[in-house]
Structure 1
Amino acid sequence: MGGTNNPGAGAKRVLVIKLSALGDFVLALGAMRAIRGHHPKAILTLLTTPPYEELARATGFFQHIETDGRPKGVKATRELLKRLKSAKYDIVYDLQTSGRTGNYFKALNLPFSSPPLWSGNVEGAAFYHNTPHRGDLHSIDRLGEQLEIAGLGESDTKDTWPPMPDMSFVRRSQGNKPSLTPQYFGISGPFALLIPGASAHRSAKRWPVENYGGLARHIADAGVTPVIIGGKSESELAVEINRIEPRCRNIVTRTNLFQIVALAENAQFAVGNDTGPMHMAALSGCPGVALFATSESDPAKASPRGSQIIICEADTLDQLSVRDVWQAVRMLDRIPASAAGGQS
């Protein structure tokens, strides 16, 4: 379908698809901003899943947010496809590029139909992203290349390219609520974020809990409060870290996505596995140490961006010692001067 032109400012209705997961969603925020800039007059709709509705709404990019991007059952899928067809989108940006969203493309491109233009990794798309190196790119770079193929570029962001996510919308949308302060969680003085979670089905991406406990002891000895964040699945990990180092502040399950950003803005540094909140922390300007099991993921394609980040990697995370990670933390030069001298 060579020669197809992007409707740009002439588009009336545009759909963006991004279903999950948290880290991938956050890394796509720059691409979403570029799409908004390229279609300034369009009604922009996001098709996503429930966990990301509030965050997406706060960006201000979208007029409509639909959260049934992963319908359950034939009836719900049929209703979704019927709605997508009747919306008569001028162009669809598939930022998920999964088998599921590829099937949505095929359903909209049945014989005798009038499908929208499509940007994604599916054969037959008007803007088919099928470069040989696509799978070797970092998520931000891959999305940038996909949008370039669709006719977008640096002028759409008024910034550098590829489009970097920018978490400043959190402050713009949430203001200075008390719930966004460290004091809301009983935190005073310098603190650091510990992010011990990772995908529940990929336990190899988690640094051992006893190592987090040992690191927390170093951090607390340096006069910095270790603050553990995460979701329900990290509750037991947090309790064990807190048992090893009682000076930790355990606020697992107590933070929403906006509070994670606000805490990261104020933290001395963050240490975490390859997981969504670590990406959010880095994009909020928080220096950090990211821990990667190279048997599970490639830092070149998945490392946090946006701030000073040191990567500690090993084939499996149990091969990384507390000493390794503590030395990386010290390289960030974020330990208070009054305490740093005696640490080793």
Structure 2
Amino acid sequence: MDAVFVIKLSALGDLVQADGALRDIREHHRHAIITVMTTPPYLRYMQRCPWVDLVFVDPRASRFNLVALSVLRRRLHKQHIDLVYDLQQVGRTRFYKRWLFPNGSWVGDVPGCSCYLKRPKGAAAADHFAHHLRQAGVSVCHTLVGNVGWMADDVTSLMRQAELQPGFVLLIPGASAEHQEKRWPHFAELARHLLDRGYRVVTVPGPADLAVCRAIPGDMLVPDDGYYDLFVLAGLAAQARFVVGNDTGPTHIAAHLRKPGLALFGGHVSALSTGLQHTCFSWLEADDLHKLPFAKVWQQVEQLMGKDF
């Protein structure tokens, strides 16, 4: 039985966008043991992923920490790996190829590896993976149409407790704390307009989003003892009629649940480079999200939600 090793270290949105590629690798290697290497924040996500068998945590030690790297190399060699798919393709994983797998079969972007393809600048990861997997002899059926429905918890009891029916609008107004430029500032006004038209509006904040969600009218869903995890968020997103969010991991989860929605992008990255074109989402882009007018977003929401809006 082959031992296949897949590297996908971070971040949340990138892991979600790689779901279809992981599934195609799984279907190509039906009888292999597939291990995925990821980082500690994404251990639970990958443990739940149905396309892999085992999860190997990369502690991301410094390249100059020779003791830690030696330990990592010994741990990897115990896996008896036959083939590596590098779905991260960054400097760290190129270093891993040279230092940890100098002679093994490797699908990645290290010159001289057994299946080499460099990702074009600005290309979506899914498009690149589709080309690369085909080059490696993998049939590409899911890479461009990933679906993380396996993430969605059963939220029936939570919705009953909140007296919430399917068909609400989910707003995702947050983003990672270090990327304030990804936050559109007019979600409260958007919520008021939706409420005025009879829609339930829901937010599900994480720790960094609590303050902004408190200022948004509608239903803010948080448990008494902390915050709902990504699997509950996915379960709620699956019950939404429409989703509006910033360029952040939860928005990409909703998009890869094949829900309709609208994503708002600042000048930090092109929407096309994230692969949203392969989902049911639309998007708006602005060099500065703080200058993206509410009226423009509202017009797009009205158009996308349809005639019965």
TM-score normalized by the length of structure 1: 0.81
Distance 2:56 2:18 in 1: 17
Give the drift of 1:306.
5.4
- 1:318-329 correspondence runs (5 A): 318-329=290-301
Answer 1 or 2: higher relative contact order, Cα 8 Å, separation at least 6: 2
Q: Secondary structure at the match of 2:208?
A: helix
Q: Secondary structure at the match of 1:66?
A: strand
Task: Describe the shift of the 1:144–1:188 C-alpha distance in structure 2 as closer, same or farther (beyond 3 A).
Answer: same
Distance 2:303 2:101 in 1: 53
Q: Secondary structure at the match of 1:327?
A: helix
Instruction: Check conservation: 2:61, 2:68, Cα contact below 8 A.
Output: yes
Larger radius of gyration: 1
Q: Secondary structure at the match of 2:258?
A: coil
Give the drift of 1:76.
3.1
Task: Describe the shift of the 1:94–1:271 C-alpha distance in structure 2 as closer, same or farther (beyond 3 A).
Answer: same
Give the drift of 1:308.
3.0
Question: Which residue does the alignment assign to 1:91?
Answer: 83
Corresponding letter in the other structure for 1:201: E
Matched, 1:262 2:235: yes
Higher helix share: 1
Matched, 1:119 2:92: no
1:41-85, Cα deviation, whole Å (9 max, x unpaired): 111101112332222232322221112352465433321122113
Equivalent residue for 2:255, pick from 282, 294, 299: 282
Matched, 1:227 2:213: no
Distance 2:167 2:246 in 1: 22
Equivalent residue for 2:289, pick from 305, 317, 323: 317
Instruction: Check conservation: 1:31, 1:164, Cα contact below 8 A.
Output: no
1:111-159, Cα deviation, whole Å (9 max, x unpaired): xxxx32011112221111126xx223112111111212222123xxxx3
Give the drift of 1:163.
4.1
Distance 1:97 1:59 in 2: 21
Equivalent residue for 2:70, pick from 73, 78, 85: 78
Equivalent residue for 1:164, pick from 145, 152, 158: 145
CA RMSD of aligned residues (A): 2.3
Instruction: Check conservation: 1:19, 1:69, Cα contact below 8 A.
Output: no
Q: Give % identity.
A: 35
Q: Secondary structure at the match of 1:232?
A: coil
Q: Secondary structure at the match of 1:233?
A: coil
Corresponding letter in the other structure for 1:205: K
Deviates more, 1:35-44 or 1:255-264: 255-264
Question: Which residue does the alignment assign to 2:133?
Answer: 147
Mind listing any 5+ residue stretches in structure 1 that lack a counterpart? 1-10
Deviates more, 1:138-147 or 1:186-195: 186-195
Task: Describe the shift of the 1:250–1:62 C-alpha distance in structure 2 as closer, same or farther (beyond 3 A).
Answer: closer
Give the drift of 1:268.
1.6
Question: Which residue does the alignment assign to 1:137?
Answer: 123
Give the drift of 1:320.
1.0
Mind listing any 5+ residue stretches in structure 2 that lack a counterpart? none
TM-score normalized by the length of structure 2: 0.89
Deviates more, 1:312-321 or 1:24-33: 312-321
Give the drift of 1:307.
4.3
